Each structure stands twice: as structure tokens, then as C-alpha cells.
Amino acid sequence: MKIRTVEPIEVAAPADERSSPWSSTVILVKVTTANGAVGWGEAPTTLMTHPVRESVREVARFYEGRELADHSKALREFERYSFYRSRSMEATSALSAVDIACHDLLGRELGAPISTLLGGAIRESVRAYSNGWYSDAIAPEEFARKARAMVDAGFGALKFDPFGDQYRTLSTDGLAAAVGRVKAVRDAVGESVDLLIEYHGRFYPESAVRAGRALDAFHPRFMEEPVIPELTDSLAEFRRHVRTPVALGERLLNAADFESFLARGLVDILQPDITNSGGFTYGREIAGVAAAHGAPIAYHNAFGPVQTAATLQIDAVLPTFFLQESFEASWPEWKRSLVHGYSLERGVFAIPNGPGLGITVDEKAVEKYRSEMVDPIGPEPPWVIAGTWVGRDHRQR
């Protein structure tokens, strides 16, 4: 069964919907075989929608015309040709999406979920933590009210960024505001709920340490990307001064990167992203590195529903699975309409056991929302939850 076409498809929010820039576009990849079978993958965006889409076209040249059973040879050939792949998220994102789609096709052909192709599921469901729930929250009481609603919906773990408009450095007032927000959430949900603090890789080491020491008092389960990516060696200093475990990984692209961070003692909890770290093929390698170190894995999952479906398949086989990120409770309707086949109930994902990804992509919805839109910019950076940097009133001007 030969691969006939590899097609990148951009879908985007309708014009009348306001959303966080990083969630406004989705890159899907449709791989079609010569006999008309279709598999789906997804790649991340975040201010690189068009570069990733064009990178898919480059990757496609290595896959089109090749037997589906030989898709791993195409991946390894791309490795050989793509000189900057190990440091190009555009290249690895495109490769990841195609790899996911090929596994989807193989699973459908064999009548088995991808978890079976990866060695067999060891769990049928996974615990999720909610993200994205705190849009338009600035004041502590706004964070508290929204957090309580997520707990009432069944989530026992919440991730959020309490740092507002602070960037690189952290002022005294900025730290006090962050402490106020985290305290309000902790008071609202109690000690039984896991709080996960998102830094978004925004601070110089001194500011990150000050924040970490102040927020230790609220017993977070982890702190994510506390320092800017260029200075990650300083995580050793952060871990000497801060008790809370460090999580990271959404910007790491291969197993060697993860091994380096673990070997140097810079991270406690790994957060690979299946849509930029090589799909299932590299995912197996990353899982092996994590298992060798006994490192918990909590996959990053911030974009669209094909990404979620793929992530659940690898969650099913991870020996060191920890938690699964979920934005589903905060998604707009257009994004929900793209895929059917997996469920999230009371903070728990059931892992689909149908063939391939175990989902159905609604191609009518895909066509309805097909777009050429460039990622929107301003007034907030594209990686924040909308309305938490400048507030709703300023954002709507």
C-alpha cells in the first residue's frame, strides 16, 4: 500500500471568535494511500503556522510514493537530509505530524489501536489536568472562581500561569500579585487538588528562584519551565533553592535532548509533545530514556484534537505515565467539531481502542474551517492564555 499524497491543511477560528493566538490555528496533515485510505496527524502552530505547513511539504517528498510499511525508512532518510532538524521545531513538527498519520493508517489497516503497535496498552484511562481555564482572569478572586468551577467539573489537577505581564524580570509587585493568585486558588480548591505552576520559560534565573521560593509555600506538584530556554543550565541553581519539582519538555525535540536534561539533573518531570518531538517513532525512544531514569512523563498537549488522540495512544503504553494535559474544557466549538471518538469525563480521559488513533475526523468541519490565516499577534504574546496579560477590557479595544 503506497503513500500517494501528504497534504497539510490549516484550519482556523472563524472571524467572529476571539481566542488565544496559539489556539487560533491548527495544522492537520492528511496522508492518503493509493487505495484511498486516509490517516491523520497534527503539528503545532504558535506563531509558526505557515512555516510548519510549508515544512510538511518538504517532509512529504520523502514519503510520497513509498510503501506505507516503509514509512520509518522515510523518516530516517529525512534525518539524513535535514541538516538543522535537531534544532528546527518546524522540521520536527512536520515530521511528527506525518509520522502520526502513518501510524494511524497502519493501525486502521491492521484493525488495531496504535497502542497495540507500540507494544500494548497497560492502562485504559488517564488522569487529566485542566489548562486554559483561567482566561480573562487578572484578580485573585477571578482565578479562584474559575478554579473552583474546574474542580466542580471533576478535575483534581489545575495548571495556570499566575505571572500576568511579568517577563524576564519579576518586580516586587509582580511577585506579590502572583502569590496572591496562587494563594486564592489554593484556598478555593483545598490541599487535595494538585496545582501546577506554569512559568512559560519567561524569567532570568534570579527572578525564577524568587518566584519559586515564594510559591513553594502552596505545595505545587510541579513548576514548569521556570527559566528562559537559553539559560536552562541555571535550572541546577533553581533546583538547589526551590523544593517543588521542575517539569519541562515541550521545546525539546528528540530523545538525546531529554537524556541530557535528565543526566545533568535539571528536570524531574518530562513533558514531551508528540507533535514536535518525532511522533510515535521518536516517542518510543523518549519513553525508553524516561523509563531508564524512572522519570515521570506528562505529555504536553495544547493544540488540537488529533494531537490529544495521538497523545492518549502513547499514554496508554508509558511505564512512567504521570498526568495528561487537557484544554478540552476550555475549547471553542469549532475546535470540538473537528474530531469525534475520544471522551473526557470528570477529569479522566478514556483511551480510544478503535483502529489507529481511534477517532473520526469530520472532513466537512475541516473544510468549513480551512484557512490561510497567519497567526494573530498582539496585544498579548501568543503563548499566554487570553486576557491574563492585559485583561479583557484592553484586549477588546
Whether 364 is covered by a domain: the verdict is no
pLDDT at 17: 75
Average pLDDT (377-394) is 84
Contacts of 152 (CB under 8 A, 6+ apart): none
> In a 3-state reduction of DSSP, which class is residue 41?
strand
Q: Which residues are registered as beta bridge partners of 105?
A: none
Number of domains observed in the structure of the chain: 2
Question: What is the amino acid identity at position 385?
Answer: I
Query: Within this chain, do residues 158 and 194 fall inside the same structural domain, yes or no?
Result: yes
**Hey, CA dihedral for 99, 105, 109, 112, is it positive or negative?**
positive
Domain-ending residue, one of 97, 113, 129: 113
For residue 19, pLDDT beyond 90: no
Tell me: the pLDDT tens digits for 63-104? 999 999 999 999 999 999 999 999 999 999 999 999 999 999
Confidence of residue 18 (pLDDT cuts 50, 70, 90): low
Q: Based on the domain organization, do 102 and 147 belong to the same domain?
A: no
> Is the domain of 299 the same as that of 332?
yes
Lowest-pLDDT range, 18-27, 156-165, 173-182, 285-294? 18-27
pLDDT-derived band at 349, boundaries 50, 70, 90:
very high
160, 57: one domain: no
Give tens-digit pLDDT for 166-204.
999 999 999 999 999 999 999 999 999 999 999 999 999
Quote the domain boundaries for residue 216: 116-356
Q: Kindly provide the residue ranges of all beta strands, DSSP E only, lying in the chain, ordered along the sequence.
A: 3-12, 25-33, 38-43, 125-130, 157-160, 194-198, 222-224, 246-248, 269-270, 324-326, 339-340, 343-345, 348-350, 360-361
Q: Which residue bears the cell 483511551?
A: 351
Q: In this structure, is residue 230 part of a structural domain?
A: yes
Rounded CA separation 140/34 (Å):
56
Together in a domain, 205 and 291: yes
CATH number of the domain to which 178 belongs: 3.20.20.120
Q: Is the pLDDT of residue 126 over 80?
A: yes
Residue 116 binned pLDDT confidence (cut-offs 50, 70, 90): very high
| Count of beta carbons in the 10 Å neighbourhood of residue 240 | 8
Instruction: Answer whether residue 373 is part of any domain.
Output: no
The answer to whether residues 209 and 313 belong to one domain is yes
Answer whether residue 160 shows pLDDT above 70: yes
- Average pLDDT over the chain, rounded to whole? 96
Domain harbouring 54, CATH code = 3.30.390.10
Question: Given this model, what pLDDT does residue 54 score?
Answer: 97
pLDDT band at 128; cut points 50, 70, 90: very high
In this structure, is residue 192 part of a structural domain?
yes
Residue 189 domain flag: yes
pLDDT of res. 3: 98
Which domain-ending residue is among 70, 86, 113?
Answer: 113
Residues 138 and 259 both lie in one domain: yes
Quick one: average pLDDT of 333-357? 97
Question: 252 with 211, same domain?
Answer: yes
- For residues 154 and 210, membership in a common domain is answered with yes
pLDDT at 224: 98
- Weakest mean pLDDT among 33-37, 45-49, 308-312: 45-49
Read off the pLDDT band of 376 (50, 70, 90).
confident
Q: What is the pLDDT of residue 37?
A: 98
The pLDDT of residue 241 is above 90: yes
My answer on whether 92 and 132 are in the same domain is no
Same domain, yes or no: 81 and 66: yes
Q: Check pLDDT > 60 for residue 162.
A: yes
Quick one: pLDDT band at residue 393, thresholds 50, 70, 90?
low
**For the residues 5-9, what does the mean pLDDT come to?**
98
Which residue, 94, 113, 132, sits at the end of a domain? Answer: 113
294 and 235 in a common domain:
yes
Residue 378: predicted pLDDT? 80
Q: Is the pLDDT of residue 232 over 60?
A: yes
Say if residue 397's pLDDT is above 60.
Answer: no
User: Looking at the domain assignment, is residue 26 inside a domain?
Assistant: yes
Give the pLDDT of residue 392.
66
Query: Which grid cell sits at 200?
Result: 512559560
- When pLDDT is averaged across residues 315-332 and rounded to a whole number, the result is 96
Task: Report yes or no on 252 lying in a domain.
Answer: yes
CB 42 within 8 A of CB 99: no
What is the tally of helices (H) and strands (E) in the chain? 14, 14
**Mean pLDDT of the 329-337 span:** 93
Mean pLDDT over 21-35 rounds to 91
Write out the catalytic residue numbers.
Answer: 200, 300
Residue 379 domain-assigned (yes or no):
no
